Amino acid sequence: MSGDLAIRLRGVVKRYGPITAVDGLDLDVPEGTCVGLLGPNGAGKSTTMRLLTAQAIADEGELEVLGFRLPEESKAARAQCGVVPQLDNLDTTLTVEQNLLVFTYLYRIGRKERRQAIERALTMANLVDRRKDRADKLSGGMRRRLLIARALVHRPRLVLLDEPTVGLDPQVRQELWALIDALRAEGTTILMSTHYIEEAQRLADTVLIMSHGSAVAAGPPAQLVADHAGREAVEVYGPPPRLAEAEAAARAAGLLTRRTGTSVSVLGIEAADGRAPEGERRPANLEDVFVLLTGEEID
Amino acid sequence: MASLAPERRLGRLERPAMTGVFVRELVNYSAYWRSSAFSSTVEPTIYLLAFGFGFGSLVSRVGGFEYVEFVGTGTVATAVLFSSAFPAMFGTFVKYKFQRTYDAVLAAPVDTEELVTAEALWMAVRAGVYGCVPLLVALVFGLDPSWGMLTVPGIAFVAGFGWACFGISIAGFASSIENFNYVVSAVITPLFLVAGTFFPLSELPRWAQIAGNFNPLHHCVELVRHAAFGFEGVTDLARLGVLVLFGLLMWRIAIFAMTRKLVD
């Protein structure tokens, strides 16, 4: 294996006809860390996840997962990985316990360890009391916890989480963050795709921002903010002409700006030397970096 | 934290991978076995009763057999077709398109080849069991038991494997579930009717008799009939060979079709 990397991608390209979904992507995920793939819809995050399980085959580039070359040795890599998909694919007519039982077989857990593995996964996902319930009787949050439990049943070295909290209530999302954080604390390597900035900021040791299939920046969240958005920002509110005026003035002064919908954020004002406009001061954040690097317009 | 999964490099068509898929089907079957067993056995039995006693009142003997015995042995193939090709077509399509079950399975250490093989074997086992039901009904209605009938589950299994792979292939090539209407009307219905189940092919025009020899269902019908009334040596070995070849050909086509569908 290359150093202590759980995932190593070099120059990976994946095309679907005329569309290039992943365009020369380089990605390193060191063992024992949580890396967040952050990007808008269509940035290539889900395709990257499918490439890592060989459910999509790259047109160009090198892929290595847990020291196994992909796609040739993908099956051996998948034996050591757990995958939480973006879309629910539980067996809905089976109970919570039966869903886990099936995956103890698919992940080749020995007969003697099977029961213990199920109990451990149920405990970790806080589903012990719901073990006999059919999956279609569970709430959205419980189903997602069951998906995570299913991915952990064989104690994988690497967990791939594809948009783990998409479409969930804030309370349920926080519950899942605690679960993912506990997993990280155990030393499991995690690659998580998300378009929720807060999620990446809270959970990821390193964030890789993707846009149009390639990486546009990578680093610890705080470092990315410092490098790309500075330390402080000013929010300027007002009617559209006022916002346009503030934006033009800030740019003329060599400052970076971004629109938030209701305001204009002027970034890096700690270095503005009095050129900053009047407004509400706030610390720069990862969302500033995200919008600066991936663009303000929706494709 | 030590992983519970194996660390060695893994090969092709591994038993643990196929066992995993098989167990998934078995556990799911415990939730829907009643409806599945009902449709796969009652339909051919209705055919047997309707044709056996309906036509049987007009035609007493066909091909040297009592008509109810002729149909009773023939509808075994119908049960095999109904319990393999149809669930394979619809079940496979629903699992990859709507339930996304195969995405979950392929994220585990299972390849498409293993997935397709295990799914087809599971349906072949079911066809082997369900295929015996019309024969049991025919026994109740006067068909004499014979030792050869003990081979019927095996014949139904081999034929069921081929038809299951046929159904998986159709699901793999179809872009929508509505496309199945073309296959059912233009392929399965003619094969079902021109198989020698309800009337002997010898009564058909010469070209239809020749075409019938390319119908795997016809060879299944004939093998079951001979299992009940006496095997015909080399001819039946050749019929078995046709079913095995059909199964192997359809197996590879099903793997090709599903790989195209499941792996981008």
What mean pLDDT is reported for chain B?
Answer: 89
Highest-confidence segment of A224-228, A295-299, B192-196, B223-227: B223-227
Asked whether residue A225 falls in the same domain as residue A92, the answer is no
Of B9, B17, B24, the CB nearest to A73: B9
Task: Give residue A246's domain range.
Answer: 231-283
Q: Is residue A175, in this structure, part of any structural domain at all?
A: no
Q: Which residues pair with A234 in a beta bridge?
A: A266, A281
% of chain B with per-residue pLDDT over 70: 96
Is the same domain home to A96 and A140?
Answer: yes
Highest mean pLDDT range out of A114-118, A284-288, B205-209? A114-118
Contacts (Cβ under 8 Å, ≥6 apart) of B263: A54, A55, A56, A57, B106, B112
Tally of structural domains, chain A: 3
Calpha distance B8→B6 (Å, rounded)? 6
Instruction: Please give the pLDDT value at position B128.
Output: 95
Q: Do B108 and A102 touch (CB under 8 A)?
A: no
Tell me the pLDDT tens digit for each residue of A206-254: 999 998 899 999 999 989 988 888 888 888 888 888 888 888 888 887 8
Contacts of A108 in chain B (CB under 8 A): 5-6, 16-17, 20, 109
Mutate to test the interface with B, among A69, A108, A150, A186 (most CBs of B within 10 A): A108
pLDDT in tens, B23-33: 999 999 988 88
Is residue A108 domain-shared with residue A251, that is, in the same domain?
no
Check B4 against A76: CB less than 8 A apart.
Answer: no
CB contacts, 8 Å: B19 with chain A: 105
Instruction: Give me the pLDDT at residue B3, please.
Output: 62
CB atoms < 10 A from the CB of A143, how many? 19
pLDDT in tens, B129-185: 999 988 888 888 788 899 999 999 999 999 999 999 999 999 999 999 999 999 999
My answer on whether A64 and A162 are in the same domain is yes
A75, A85, A155 member nearest B104 (Cβ): A85
Q: In this model, does residue A41 exceed pLDDT 60?
A: yes
Please count the residue pairs, one from chain A and one from chain B, whose beta carbons lie less than 8 angstroms apart. 122
Q: Is the pLDDT of residue A2 over 50?
A: no
| A3 found inside a domain | yes
Out of A79, A89, A98, the one facing B100 most closely (by C-beta) is A89
Residue A1: per-residue pLDDT:
44
Q: A197 - beta bridge partners?
A: none
- Assess whether A60 and A207 both reside in one domain: yes
Query: Is A35 inside any structural domain?
Result: yes
Directed axis angle between helix B132-140 and helix B15-49, to 10°? Answer: 30
Is B35 touching A (CB cutoff 8 A)? no
Q: Kindly give the interhelix angle for B15-49 and B67-93, rounded to the nearest 10 degrees.
A: 140
Together in a domain, A53 and A13: yes
A105: nearest CB among B7, B8, B20: B20
Which of A156, A177, A204 is the last residue before a domain boundary?
A: A156
Q: Do A61 and A106 belong to one domain? A: no
What is the predicted pLDDT for the residue at B67?
84
- Residue that the structure tokens 């792996």 belong to: B263
Closest chain B CA to residue A110: B4
Instruction: Check residue A242 and give its pLDDT.
Output: 85
How many Å apart are CA A30 and CA A202, to the nearest integer? 18
Shortest distance, CA B251 to any CA of chain A (angstroms): 21
Residues A12 and A75 in one domain: yes
Residue A67 sits in the same domain as residue A162: yes
Note whether B4 contacts A110, CB cutoff 8 Å.
yes
B109 Cβ under 8 Å from any chain A Cβ: yes
In this structure, what token pair is assigned to residue B143?
């068909």
Q: Are residues A57 and A163 in the same domain?
A: yes
pLDDT in tens, A95-123: 999 999 999 999 999 999 999 999 999 99
Q: How far apart are CA B232 and CA A255, in angstroms?
A: 92
ipTM for the complex shown: 0.87
Tokens of A217: 């920046």
pTM: 0.89
Chain A CB within 8 Å of residue B111 CB: yes
Which helix (DSSP H) or strand (DSSP E) does residue B86 occupy?
A: helix B67-93
Same domain, A13 and A111: no
- Cβ pair A80:B3 closer than 8 A: yes
pLDDT at residue B5, rounded to an integer: 58
Spatial separation of the C-alpha atoms in residues B263 and B251, rounded to whole Å: 18
The answer to whether the Cβ–Cβ distance between A113 and B16 falls below 8 Å is no
Query: A73 to chain B: which residues are within 8 Å by CB?
Result: 9
Q: What is the pLDDT of residue B104?
A: 95
Same domain, yes or no: A68 and A25: yes
In chain B, where are the structural domains located?
A: 15-262
In a domain? residue A48: yes
Is B5 within 8 Å of A188 when comparing Cβ atoms? no
B100 in A contact zone (CB under 8 Å): yes
Structure tokens at B234: 């080399």
Cβ–Cβ of A102/B24 closer than 8 Å?
A: yes
Total residues found in chain A within this entry: 299
Are A193 and A231 in contact, with CB atoms under 8 Å apart? no
A44 within a domain of the structure (yes/no): yes
Higher pLDDT, B240 or B39: B240
From residue B164, give the alpha-carbon distance in Å to each of A31, A52, A67, A99, B137.
43, 31, 38, 25, 24
CA distances from A153 to A66, A120, A296, B3 (A): 18, 7, 41, 10
Closest residue in chain A to residue B97, using alpha carbons only = A89
CATH code, domain carrying A59: 3.40.50.300
Could you tell me whether strands A232-237 and A280-283 are parallel, antiparallel, or unpaired per DSSP bridges?
A: antiparallel
Between B50 and A94, residue with greater pLDDT: A94
Q: How many whole angstroms separate alpha carbon B133 and alpha carbon B131?
A: 6
Per DSSP, helices labelled H in B94-131 are 101-107, 112-130
The token pair that represents A280 in the structure block: 């509400």
Most distant pair of Cα atoms in chain A: their distance: 71
Quick one: which H or E segment has residue B17?
Answer: helix B15-49
User: CA nearest A286: which of A221, A227, A237?
Assistant: A221
pLDDT tops 70 at residue A147: yes
